[in-house]
Structure 1
Amino acid sequence: MAGGVAAAVLGAIGGAGAYAYAGEVPRGTSVLGVDIGGKNRSDAIAALHAGLAKQAGKLGNPVAVRLGDRAAEVTPADIDLGVDVEATVTVAIEASPNPIGRLLGSRTVEPVVTLDEGKLHDLLGTALGKDARAMKQPSITFSGTTPKPNYPQPGRGLDAARSADAVRSGWLGGGPVDVPIVEIHPATTKEDVDKLVAEFARPAVSAPVTVTTERGDVTVAPAAIAKSLRLVADKAGRIEPALDAKKLRAALSTPLGAVEVQPKDARVAIVSGKPRVTEGTEGRQVDVTALATDLLAVLPKSDERTVTGKLVAAKPATTAADVAKLGIKERVSTFTTKFTGGLGAPRSQNIVQIAKDVDGTLVKPGAVFSLNGHTGERGYRQGYRDAPVILDGKLVPGVGGGTSQFTTTLFNAAYYAGLEDVHHKPHSYYFDRYPAVIESTIFWPDLDMKFRNNTEYGVVIDTSWTDNSITVSMYSTKVWDSVSTEYSPRRNITSPKVIKLPKGPTCIATNGIPGFTQDAFRVFKKDGKVVEREKFTWTYSAEPRFTCG
């Protein structure tokens, strides 16, 4: 009888154990009201997905957030806020209760909540608005070769991780979520900045660095180091010293020129009136990107400030194949203006010098040609001489006088090629050696002449001269049948006044020229029809009659 009772009890216990341990998830387990108990993993995942789908409306409602005194809302979909079903089922399985708990208990498992911290941070940052205060990032700048520390200051705002924790834990609580506003400190302290000045910035510019190459040595002066050294903080406030390779090359342009061979682009030469493409040539240049990295290693040192510079092949920016695709096959415009004095006159020599500087220039489709940008400063070092220029309304000697005549010639060649006028300024006074209205002056660096190649073909500028004329021609592919000019009558004509100037070398007498206003219409024809008329208008002042003495 005792044996029978014992057997019955053992059978009951065994049956209860089998019931309690049926499935991977303990019986009585629920998540957000969804029963997943007694199921294996895959069935529990499916059941929880189905149960949450029924609550999608509720779970997708905006979450009320408090940012100090500010109230805001966050839409779950905007920050990828939701329940990680697979991770939640894993938690339910792994946090399994004891056998009695599995048999008799019930429990609620908190869901594993996920969100995109970056998206939440951006949204809350916008909501915080003016209540936020950016932290002042540290940096070290240079005044000449003297390092100047800029110390960090804390800001006031949000910590992305703490904001995410608050929203994850408070999302399903039913009330507004309090997101903490905290003081934000840069990773680099004032003491760190002072240490970086003493141990890196000051030694970096204490002496030059010698760069040895197979073609000779290059000296990197402290001023060049200071111009290219970057000691600024990242978003976290950390300062990682770096050398800007582009600024380093610019600062070393003259010394590098002694050891480098510059690449030459393919160009278009005009031979017997026909464009001919000639291939460019490779150059040899110092690898300044590698040099910048190597320099960083020796800048903190007081001696052994020598690095090896590697010369690498420098390919032309434009190859013959590139040029061949641009469709440069014929002359599309030409324009000539006359000058006096012969080629020996300083003014004539300036005209020829700027023509040489521009000759053969390739303007690619969509590119803007700037005459100032192309030639740079036109001074004595560049081969220009003193000749009369207009300054404050009168003619005075000035370096580069006469370049406005080339500018007008170039402007008209671009004008009659149908190219887009970007910027030009006619002279204040009318000179009969130029066409009225459609002419242009230039002066470094304030007055420029620019045009855009608004065609699908390349444009090559060809210049030539005689002892009394300058000619500019454009070579490309014709877009228009013709481009011509129609003028309105002159109006608002004014007479010159007489101004007496002291006699001396800076006084240049003039006869005076009447002033007037006039319109010029650029007329574009295609397929025998006028398709566009572009209006240019200019008012010339009456040039005074200047007398000397």
Structure 2
Amino acid sequence: MQPDDARRTDVSTAPPPAPAGRPSSRRRALVAAALAGAVLLPVGAAVGYAYTGEVPRGVTVLGVGLGGLGRAAAGEALRAELDRRAADLAAPVTVRVEDGTARVDPSAVGLAVDVDATVAAAVDARPGLFARLFGGATVDPVVTVDQGRLDAVLREAVGDVGQPVVAPAITYDGTTPRPVYPESGRVLDPATAADVLRAGWPAGREVTVPLLDVHPATTAADVDRLLTELAEPAVSGPVTVTTERGDVVVPPAAIAKSLVLAADDVGRIEPRIDEKELRSALGNGLREVEVAPKDATVVLDAGKPKVVSGVDGQRLDTAALGRDLLAVLPRTADRRVAGVLAVAPPAMTDEQVAAFGIRERVSTFTTNFTGGLSAARSHNIVTIARDVDGTIVKPGETFSLNGHTGERSYKQGYRDAPVIMDGKLVPGVGGGTSQFTTTLFNATYYAGLEDVEHKPHSYWFSRYPAVIESTIFYPNLDFKFRNDTPYGLLIDTSWTNDSITVSIWSTRIYDSVKTEWSPRRNITKPRVVHLEPGPSCIATDGIDGFTQDAWRIFHKDGKELRREKFSWRYDAEPRFICGS
């Protein structure tokens, strides 16, 4: 190729020169890139700005901008706004329920803004980019309210509103089933009221709580079907429960008492057997097949406490029986179920009793009586002593003598003996049990145990220590003490032909407990009273009345620990004469 040709080729392939005043394409591209970069840099900066801080930009709560703040700073800002609004937020809120109106004090129903929960909701907010850049993302405050207290306040203010729901049910009149058909209602719903108040209170608005329409899930047709298929055949005859120890008959009356056909919260009837009612209705019938467990206890063996092991019993599994009964109650024939006798362990185990620390006698007290053990009064003393003997009182437990023995009547083996009634001695069932009460009181008194309830006699009898003695009369007058030690205690009773003794066995707390008495004061003499002669008249010689104090003194480690004062005013017992 010639050089001139080469030059011509170069000239012919070169781009034509650009018109004057117009940039080249490459230049235009460079300029466009530069302009794009100029625009994108602020946008990127804006996006980065919108996503800074724990609370997203643009988020407000109660008109306070929290966007871009950390949790702590957002919480401080919100608390400051709440402080600013404190007076408005504390003002009563008007709540309307149908035609009724209530003025609700926010503090009375626990209305409050949960700042921490509100800040957490603000952090979790997801506003769009526009809202982040230019604002407008509002988060509602998290408001707390005591739903139960609010419901009580509203019901007291507006009374009965709406139409109550009639829940479906089938009840028994004896052994005759009576249907209760469902009826829909409009009710004040606590949850709805709470939601409405939470939403309206921060804005200071009057709120209206709508009534809730409630329709029971069970229909009248369902009740009729349940009546025919279960309620009526259920009491058509007895059910025989077979066990390895014999049979138990469940009569229709027991079935009617324990079969529950009542609606739940949504108005649905789910038949069930009330286990406690079933057991109560069967009563003595269970005694033929059940064996009561025996608790572990402590007895005195050669003058030393000894743990006696508990023994398992057998108890009819009434929970399983209730389930099985439901399967046969719809039938009118072949009404037999197999009962299960489950192991009934003792309520108090060997280990528990051993841990009580009953190891020594810590107190004992004796009072004397006359007439020998054949006398009615002596018989009553021994009867109550035998009932209480061997009782274990756990640490922290309060012992009630009336609660332990129940009513002391002829049925329990008590006899008529003199008791104080209306200021004079008359024959009464259980006379003499006050002597045992006084003996027990003194045994617990000298053991240093806490006195909970006792009352001295109206008149002083020389067989009792003055002031520190106690009467008893079921059910109004009781004797109670509390075992305020960390150890269990055993009450041991014993008697002779003319005395009753009560001892407390436990672990000794005090070196000694003693009594000091003040001199008697305000002494009064008995008057003479003539009574109608007859078997109810008991003559007396009369006893002086007086006031006296007694101090229970506790000693430990050779020092007086404390004193406890008891005081009592005895009336003068009249000299009762039978006849003129």
Q: TM-score scaled by structure 1?
A: 0.76
Return the offset for 1:299.
Answer: 5.3
SS of 1:182's equivalent? Answer: coil
Map Cα deviations across residues 462-510 of structure 1 (whole Å, 9 max, x no partner). 1111111111100011111111111122222233333333333333333
Alignment of 1:230-379 (within 5 A): 242-297=272-327, 305-379=335-409
Contact 2:238 2:252 in 1 (8 A): yes
Residue 191 of structure 2 corresponds to 160
State whether residues 452 and 480 of structure 2, in contact with CA within 8 Å, keep that contact through their aligned partners in structure 1: yes
* RMSD between aligned residues: 4.6
The question of 1:130 aligning with 2:189 is answered no
> Residue 269 of structure 1: CA displacement?
0.7
1:364, CA displacement in angstroms? 0.8
Which residue of 2 is the match for residue 546 of structure 1?
576
Q: Give ranges in structure 1 of 5+ residues lacking alignment.
A: 1-10, 29-34, 94-101
Measure, in 2, the Cα distance between the counterparts of 1:36 and 1:45: 15
Q: 1:211 offset after TM fit, Å?
A: 3.0
Change (3 A) 1:209 1:52: farther
Instruction: Answer yes or no: is 1:182 the counterpart of 2:210.
Output: yes
Question: What is the rounded CA distance, in whole Å, between the counterparts of 2:183 and 2:520 in structure 1?
Answer: 66
Contact 1:378 1:444 in 2 (8 A): yes
Deviation at 1:392, TM superposition (A): 2.4
Indicate the residue corresponding to 1:51 in structure 2. 67
How far 1:278 moved relative to its partner?
A: 1.4
Q: Which amino acid aligns with 1:160?
A: A
Say whether the 8 Å CA contact 2:398–2:480 is kept in structure 1. yes
* CA positional deviation for 1:212: 2.7
- Equivalent residue runs for 1:140-539 within 5 Å: 157-158=188-189, 160=191, 164=195, 176-177=204-205, 179-184=207-212, 188=216, 195=223, 198=227, 208-221=238-251, 224=254, 242-297=272-327, 305-539=335-569
Q: Deviation at 1:312? A: 1.1
Shift of the alpha carbon at 1:184? 4.2
1:159, distance to aligned residue in structure 2 (A): 5.8
Q: Structure 1 residues 221, 388: closer, same or farther in 2, change over 3 A?
A: farther
SS, match of residue 156 in structure 2: helix
Cα deviations by residue, 1:408-428 (Å, 9 ceiling, x for unpaired)? 111111111111111112222
Change (3 A) 1:122 1:392: closer
Q: Over alpha carbons, which structure has the higher Rg? A: 2
- Between the aligned partners of 1:504 and 1:256, the Cα distance in structure 2 is 48
**1:366 Cα shift?**
0.5
Q: Which amino acid aligns with 1:260?
A: E
State the alpha-carbon separation in 2 of the partners of residues 123 and 405 from structure 1: 52
Residues in 1 aligned to 2:263 and 2:481: alpha-carbon distance in whole angstroms: 41
Q: Distance in 2 between matches of 1:406 and 1:186?
A: 62
Identity %: 52
Asked if the contact 2:522/2:546 (under 8 Å) is kept, the reply is yes
Using a 3 Å threshold, how does the CA distance of structure 1 residues 449 and 120 change in structure 2: closer, same or farther?
closer
SS at match of 2:114: helix
1:117-170 alpha-carbon deviations (Å, 9 max, x no partner): x847568647747335478676777777677869989675456358647966x7
Tell me the amino acid that sits aligned with residue 554 of structure 2.
F
The secondary structure found in structure 1 opposite 2:211 is strand
Tell me the CA shift for residue 405 of structure 1: 1.4
Hey, what does 1:77 align to over in structure 2?
A: 114
Instruction: Report the TM-score, using the length of structure 2 for normalisation.
Output: 0.72
How many residues align structurally? 507
* Structure 1 residues 235 and 470, CA gap change in structure 2 (3 angstroms): same
Residues 372, 498 of structure 2: 8 Å contact kept = yes
More deviation, 276-285/489-498: 489-498
Which residue of structure 2 lines up, in the alignment, with residue 6 of structure 1?
none
- Retained in 2: the 8 A contact 1:158–1:180? no
Measure how far apart 1:528 and its partner are: 2.1
Q: Deviations over 1:250-296 (max 9, x none)?
A: 44442222211111111111122211111111111122333344445
Separation in 1, partners of 2:552, 2:248: 54
Distance 1:45 1:366, change over 3 A: closer
Report the CA distance shift for 1:38/1:523 in structure 2 as closer, same or farther (over 3 A). Answer: closer
